[in-house]
A and B are shown apart, each in its own frame.
Chain A
Amino acid sequence: DTGVSQDPRHKITKRGQNVTFRCDPISEHNRLYWYRQTLGQGPEFLTYFQNEAQLEKSRLLSDRFSAERPKGSFSTLEIQRTEQGDSAMYLCASSLGGSPYEQYFGPGTRLTVT
Chain B
Amino acid sequence: AQKVTQAQTEISVVEKEDVTLDCVYETRDTTYYLFWYKQPPSGELVFLIRRNSFDEQNEISGRYSWNFQKSTSSFNFTITASQVVDSAVYFCALPSNTGKLIFGQGTTLQVKP
B78 interface residue (CB < 8 Å to A): no
Segment with Cβ contacts to A, from B44-52, B56-64, B80-88 = B44-52
Complex alpha-carbon distance, A91 and B95, angstroms? 16
Segment with Cβ contacts to B, from A19-27, A62-70, A73-81, A103-111 = A103-111
Complex alpha-carbon distance, A82 and B66, angstroms? 41
B96 interface residue (CB < 8 Å to A): yes
Task: Tally chain A residues at the interface, Cβ within 8 Å.
Answer: 29
List the A side residues contacting B13 at CB < 8 Å: none
Q: Is B96 within 8 A of A103, CB to CB?
A: no
Interface residues on B, range: 20 to 34
Q: Is A100 within 8 A of B98, CB to CB?
A: no
Of B4, B47, B97, the residue contacting A102 (CB under 8 A) is B47
Complex alpha-carbon distance, A7 and B47, angstroms? 21
Complex alpha-carbon distance, A107 and B39, angstroms? 10
Complex alpha-carbon distance, A98 and B95, angstroms? 8
A108-B44 CB under 8 A given contacts A42-B106, A99-B33, A100-B95: yes
User: A-side interface residues toward B, CB under 8 Å?
Assistant: 31, 33, 35, 40-45, 48, 55-56, 89, 91, 93, 95, 97-108, 110
Q: Lowest 7 A-B CB distances belong to which pairs?
A: A98-B99, A42-B103, A99-B95, A105-B45, A45-B100, A100-B33, A107-B44
